[in-house]
């Protein structure tokens, strides 16, 4: 694709010419051209599997292109490694994090800095940057104790401390309140005003329209358009991404909620490690045919609540959690699945799937019922058929039942994991970050599947940091902050600013009384 006439003769911070990269099963990048000027905030958008991640890895030196040229400040260059990229002045915030679990925040960041500094100095700089950008993090905390959202903050801070000339940001706002997003955007505009170029990858088209000056749109590994997102509607950009009209979610709001299917009553749980969150007197109740959304900034007790609900954390008092009226707090995950509860963790590569195993084996991880296992023997044909069904019904691209899970893009793996649970038709579904990092089409498909399950009488608990998502699918929304849960708010009373304030901990009291008395018909 030739450069636009307005770009001819212009000096760019980064210029890609005819970049191509193929793998055995797919052509990830097909003759891609892209330019980024000094101080420009440039979006790269596309469906999952469109080639965005491969392109960013090429720019950051993690992958070598098969063909094409990379120019940095007008000079052709070979970026052979991340270290070389950093030397040039390229920083990257990864969607799938590049952190050492057993090291502290300060130790991880110190390893990435070009100069060797005492950890105390590094910690001081971390606190300064974290405070300025509204990204709270403890420099002495070990990575393995942190949630997905908290790890993303570490990635952002690490990149900003390197003072890059080009900053690549992959889904950077998925863990922030609306107020914090506004603060981050102010910071990014300040960085751009100082001459830093920003490549911004996000599936939130409204964010791109508010922040970015140009957008390069990819589909099937090719550039399908370059536009000024400030002059395009979200629907128009989505059409360029997927090549078709976006189908609206069909939500049957006339569904009448049934009997209580899952309840928590006065759950208090000490933190399991020094950096965890203590849960305090949490109570909630969800009836069949109802979606309860829980909003909150990552690291406020979501992990602990999900572990208590899924059975990873077993409680002494069986009656603290009930499933269809049966005491369940003492049951392990397998036993809870046997009585109708399925769960989707937020960490798809760490807890949701085993990257090295094929999708068929990953399907078996949670689908060990009579259809898949009989007489102690695995029915391989049934397991493979179930995996293929997940792939087909949830539009998973990039492979088949024999494909290793780790070879899929993040969004496609997310679709597979969500499909694996929903297709088992659970009576109760607990799902964390269901559409984290997935494109607009996939997000709609996942949200529609959740609503379809709800329409069949299931109770669904959605833990999400995407307020737009909760506003779209939830019948009620509660907020978790500091290990406490607010009273739920019914649809019709949703208020973005009020929920955002609650996410920062500004709500009175906790939901000590069981929420059964506050359940609303839908």
How many structural domains are present in the chain? 3
Which of 192, 209, 242 marks a domain boundary? 242
Q: How distant is the alpha carbon of residue 298 from its chain centre?
A: 11
Question: For the domain that residue 305 is a member of, what is the CATH number?
Answer: 3.40.50.300
For residue 176, name the pLDDT band (cuts at 50, 70, 90): low
In terms of domains, do 35 and 72 share one?
Answer: yes
First to last CA, the chain: 51
| Separation between Cα atoms, residue 403 and residue 389, nearest integer Å | 14
Q: What is the mean pLDDT of residues 209-221?
A: 93
Higher pLDDT, 495 or 182: 495
Question: What is the structure's pLDDT at 252?
Answer: 53
Count CB atoms within 10 A of the CB of residue 77: 14
| Separation between Cα atoms, residue 396 and residue 414, nearest integer Å | 9
Output the furthest CA–CA distance in the chain (Å, rounded): 72
pLDDT tens by residue, 93-117? 876 677 888 999 999 999 988 788 9
SS3 343: strand
In terms of domains, do 106 and 217 share one?
Answer: yes
Considering the domain boundaries, does residue 248 fall inside one? Answer: no
In terms of domains, do 355 and 329 share one?
Answer: no
In terms of domains, do 146 and 55 share one?
Answer: yes
Q: Is the pLDDT of residue 339 over 80?
A: yes
Higher pLDDT, 366 or 70: 70
Q: Is the pLDDT of residue 521 over 50?
A: no
pTM over 0.75: no
pLDDT tens by residue, 252-311? 555 677 899 999 999 999 988 777 889 999 999 999 999 999 998 878 899 899 999 999
For residue 431, name the pLDDT band (cuts at 50, 70, 90): very high
In terms of domains, do 332 and 457 share one?
Answer: yes
Q: Is the pLDDT of residue 3 over 50?
A: no
Q: What is the mean pLDDT of residues 147-157?
A: 79
Q: 């929420």: which residue's tokens?
A: 515
Question: What is the structure's pLDDT at 255?
Answer: 61
Which of 379, 400, 425 marks a domain boundary? 425
Count CB atoms within 10 A of the CB of residue 75: 8
In terms of domains, do 356 and 453 share one?
Answer: no
For residue 342, name the pLDDT band (cuts at 50, 70, 90): very high
Considering the domain boundaries, does residue 220 fall inside one? Answer: yes
Q: Determine contact, residues 387/359, Cβ cutoff 8 Å.
A: yes
Q: Which of 33, 31, 30, 29 is nearest to 2 (CA)?
A: 33
Considering the domain boundaries, does residue 268 fall inside one? Answer: yes
Distances (CA, A) of 215 to 43, 218, 328, 503: 4, 10, 49, 31
Considering the domain boundaries, does residue 247 fall inside one? Answer: no
Considering the domain boundaries, does residue 252 fall inside one? Answer: no
Question: What is the structure's pLDDT at 60?
Answer: 94
In terms of domains, do 310 and 205 share one?
Answer: no
Q: Determine contact, residues 230/425, Cβ cutoff 8 Å.
A: no
In terms of domains, do 376 and 402 share one?
Answer: yes
Considering the domain boundaries, does residue 495 fall inside one? Answer: yes
Question: What is the structure's pLDDT at 148?
Answer: 66
Q: Is the pLDDT of residue 247 over 80?
A: no
Q: Is the pLDDT of residue 135 over 50?
A: yes
Question: What is the structure's pLDDT at 96?
Answer: 64
Q: How distant is the alpha carbon of residue 409 from its chain centre?
A: 12
In terms of domains, do 419 and 433 share one?
Answer: no
Higher pLDDT, 63 or 173: 63
Count CB atoms within 10 A of the CB of residue 266: 16
In terms of domains, do 296 and 431 share one?
Answer: yes
Q: 């070979």: which residue's tokens?
A: 78
Q: What is the mean pLDDT of residues 370-386?
A: 85
In terms of domains, do 433 and 314 share one?
Answer: yes
Asked which of 9-13, 210-214, 299-303, 421-425 is least confident by mean pLDDT, the reply is 9-13
Question: What is the structure's pLDDT at 253?
Answer: 56
Considering the domain boundaries, does residue 145 fall inside one? Answer: yes
For residue 32, name the pLDDT band (cuts at 50, 70, 90): very high
Q: Is the pLDDT of residue 403 over 60?
A: yes
Residues in the chain: 522
| Separation between Cα atoms, residue 261 and residue 325, nearest integer Å | 7
For residue 513, name the pLDDT band (cuts at 50, 70, 90): very low
Q: Where are the beta strands (DSSP E) in 96-255?
A: 166-170, 197-201, 214-219, 222-227
Higher pLDDT, 517 or 210: 210
Distances (CA, A) of 411 to 171, 200, 387, 406, 420: 12, 17, 17, 12, 14
Mean pLDDT of the chain: 86
Higher pLDDT, 423 or 437: 423
Q: What is the mean pLDDT of residues 435-451?
A: 84
Question: What is the structure's pLDDT at 519?
Answer: 30
| Separation between Cα atoms, residue 109 and residue 141, nearest integer Å | 12
For residue 507, name the pLDDT band (cuts at 50, 70, 90): low
Which of 389, 407, 425 marks a domain boundary? 425
Considering the domain boundaries, does residue 253 fall inside one? Answer: no
In terms of domains, do 317 and 388 share one?
Answer: no
The whole domain housing 230 covers 5-242
In DSSP terms, 26 is beta-bridged to 23
């Amino acid at each position: 694709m030739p450069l636009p006439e307005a770009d001819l003769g212009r000096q760019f911070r980064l210029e890609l010419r005819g970049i191509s990269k193929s793998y055995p099963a797919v052509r990830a990048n097909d003759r891609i051209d892209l330019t980024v000027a000094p101080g420009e905030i440039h979006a790269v958008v596309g469906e999952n599997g469109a080639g965005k991640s491969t392109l960013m890895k090429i720019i950051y030196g993690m992958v070598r292109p098969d063909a094409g040229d990379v120019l940095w400040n007008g000079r052709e260059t070979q970026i052979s490694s991340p270290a070389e990229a950093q030397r040039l002045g390229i920083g990257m915030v990864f969607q799938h994090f590049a952190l050492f679990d057993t090291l502290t925040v300060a130790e991880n960041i110190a390893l990435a800095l070009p100069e060797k500094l005492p950890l105390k100095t590094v910690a001081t700089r971390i606190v300064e940057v974290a405070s300025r950008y509204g990204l709270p993090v403890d420099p002495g905390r070990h990575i393995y104790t942190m949630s997905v959202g908290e790890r993303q903050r570490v990635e952002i801070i690490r990149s900003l401390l390197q003072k890059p000339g080009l900053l690549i940001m992959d889904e950077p706002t998925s863990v922030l309140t609306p107020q914090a997003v506004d603060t981050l955007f102010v910071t990014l505009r300040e960085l751009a005003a100082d001459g830093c170029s920003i490549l911004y990858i996000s599936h939130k088209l409204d964010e791109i329209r508010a922040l970015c000056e140009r957008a390069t749109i990819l589909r099937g590994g090719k550039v399908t358009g370059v536009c000024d997102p400030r002059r395009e509607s979200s629907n128009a950009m989505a059409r360029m991404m997927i090549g078709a009209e976006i189908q609206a979610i069909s939500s049957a709001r006339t569904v009448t909620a049934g009997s209580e299917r899952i309840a928590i009553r006065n759950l208090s749980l000490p933190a399991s490690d020094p950096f965890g969150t203590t849960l305090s007197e949490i109570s909630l109740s969800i009836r069949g045919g109802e979606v309860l959304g829980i909003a909150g900034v990552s690291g406020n007790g979501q992990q602990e609540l999900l572990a208590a609900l899924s059975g990873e954390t077993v409680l002494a008092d069986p009656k603290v959690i009930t499933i269809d009226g049966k005491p369940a707090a003492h049951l392990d995950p397998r036993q809870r699945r046997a009585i109708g509860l399925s769960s989707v963790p937020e960490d798809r590569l760490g807890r949701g799937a085993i990257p090295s195993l094929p999708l068929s084996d990953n399907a078996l991880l949670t689908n060990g019922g009579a259809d898949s296992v009989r007489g102690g023997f695995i029915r391989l044909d049934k397991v493979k058929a179930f995996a293929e069904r997940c792939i087909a019904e949830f539009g998973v691209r990039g492979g088949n039942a024999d494909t290793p899970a780790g070879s899929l893009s993040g969004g496609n793996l997310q679709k597979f994991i969500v499909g694996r649970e929903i297709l088992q038709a659970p009576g109760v579904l607990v799902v964390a970050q269901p559409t984290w990092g997935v494109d607009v089409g996939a997000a709609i498909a996942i949200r529609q599947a959740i609503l379809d399950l709800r329409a069949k009488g299931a109770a669904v608990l959605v833990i999400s940091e995407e307020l737009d998502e909760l506003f779209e699918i939830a019948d009620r929304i509660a907020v978790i902050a500091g290990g406490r849960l607010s009273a739920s708010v019914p649809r019709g009373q949703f208020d973005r600013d009020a929920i955002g304030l609650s996410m920062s901990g500004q709500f009175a009291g906790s939901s000590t009384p069981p929420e059964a008395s506050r359940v609303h018909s839908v």
